[in-house]
């Protein structure tokens, strides 16, 4: 129940789906807390996406991202997480996250303490750790990030909190250590 798949609600039309590998084969999860009691399907409608709408509508969302996994607000996880699809965290996660060519979104209620590798990372909640994103890192105004950012692009909204370092990974920047030599020369 705490791994909810977007697009599987009864209101969505059923689309033919090609056979797919197991949903989360690379995920190794160590539970930090007992799993919360399952919520009956008939309970009051729960928002699939409790995050800010804008947060979810990242401009560069991968077209290859047919799947998106949501870790809901009541989820507390600890461990190594890798996936081949986009991931939205609105709960708590502690460990490391590797999404390769996909997008990680941390919702306003999300709390993540992890080193993160992804194609794109959007933070509306709290993140502590190193973030490495091939394309872009965005920190929204509700975001609170402590750590080091490494990406081809970084955007931070007015009002966001950030403490740490920011380094842009460009082809034309080969070695950061050269700067020390050139200044003291």
Contact residues: other proteins, CB under 8 A: 154-158, 160-168, 170, 172-173, 176, 178-180, 182-185
Among residues 53 and 158, whose Cβ is nearest to other proteins? 158
32-35 long-range Cβ contacts below 8 angstroms, 24+ apart: 32/76, 32/77, 32/78, 32/92, 32/94, 33/76, 35/1, 35/2
Task: Annotate 53-115 with DSSP letters as a single string.
Answer: HHHHS-TT--TT---EEEE-TT-EEEEEEE-SSEEEE-SEEEEEEE-TTSEEEE-TT-EEEEE
Tell me the closest approach of the beta carbon of residue 17 to other proteins, in angstroms. Answer: 41
- Closest CB to other proteins among residues 3, 162: 162
d(C-alpha 106, C-alpha 123), whole Å: 5
Whichever of 75 and 131 has its CB closer to other proteins, that residue is 131
Least distance CB 148 / other proteins (angstroms): 8
Q: Which is nearer to other proteins, 18 or 183 (CB)?
A: 183
């Amino acid at each position: 129940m705490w791994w909810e798949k977007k697009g599987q609600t009864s209101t969505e039309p059923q689309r033919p789906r090609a056979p797919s590998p197991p949903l989360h084969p690379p995920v190794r999860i160590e539970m930090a807390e007992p799993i919360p009691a399952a919520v009956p399907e008939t309970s009051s409608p729960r928002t699939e996406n409790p995050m800010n709408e804008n947060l979810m509508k990242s401009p560069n969302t991968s077209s290859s991202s047919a799947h998106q996994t949501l870790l809901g607000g009541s989820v507390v996880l600890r461990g190594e997480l890798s996936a081949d699809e986009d991931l939205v965290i609105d709960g708590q996660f502690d460990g490391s996250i590797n999404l390769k060519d996909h997008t990680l979104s941390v919702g306003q209620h999300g709390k993540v303490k992890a080193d993160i590798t992804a194609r794109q990372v959007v933070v509306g909640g709290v993140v502590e750790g190193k973030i490495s994103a091939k394309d872009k890192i965005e920190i929204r105004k509700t975001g609170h990030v402590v750590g080091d950012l490494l990406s081809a692009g970084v955007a931070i909204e007015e009002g966001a909190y950030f403490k740490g370092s920011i380094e842009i990974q460009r082809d034309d920047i080969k070695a950061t250590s050269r700067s020390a030599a050139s200044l003291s020369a």
